[in-house]
Amino acid sequence: MESKDEINSILLATDFSPEAERAYKFAKKLTAPHKNIKFYIITVHKPIYVPLGDLTGANDELLHENSEMEKRSKELMERLVEEIKKAGVTNCEGVIEFGDPVKKILEMAEKVMPNMIIMGNRKTGLKKGILFGSVSVRVSANSPVSVLIVR
């Protein structure tokens, strides 16, 4: 493999689902022979918006859900980064974003320009799939780099 063809950076997109866990395990195996690789991990949450002027107490509950979701994501991200580093890839960075998953994954891909994006594939329902497409399909269709979708 010539140096220009070597894998030197990967962006793993995860939502910590079982499908994303399979993609993570695949990416980890793929990077095993490449200890000098730059390994980026991103997770993106759609924010939970708090309605203004709500007198039912829903505001407090939604704010609590946001903070719990962020806390859990940080814990899971730290675990993934630590596991990658234990596997010998010392150059690993985890990022947690809030917003549209497709947009945020593509923005990070544009910024770091990895050799490829690796992500899992969750089946969307027929209606939702026809109307919106899955995150992995939309990332793949618009990515500036190759996308490997793990089933």
**Beta carbons of 23 and 150 less than 8 angstroms apart:** yes
Dist. CA 14–CA 20, nearest whole Å: 5
For residues 79 and 32, give the distance between their C-alpha atoms in angstroms, rounded to a whole number: 18
124 touches 132 (CB < 8 A): yes
pLDDT of residue 46: 83
Task: For domain 3-150, give the CATH number.
Answer: 3.40.50.620
User: Which two tokens mark 87?
Assistant: 């596997």
User: Which residues are 93's β-sheet partners?
Assistant: 40
pLDDT score for 5: 67
140, 147 in Cβ contact below 8 A?
yes
Residue 67 in tokens: 């903070």
Name the residue ranges covered by the structural domains of the chain.
3-150
* Amino acid (1-letter code) at residue 38: K
pLDDT number for residue 69: 82
Residues in the chain where the model's pLDDT stays below 70: 1-5, 48-66, 123-133
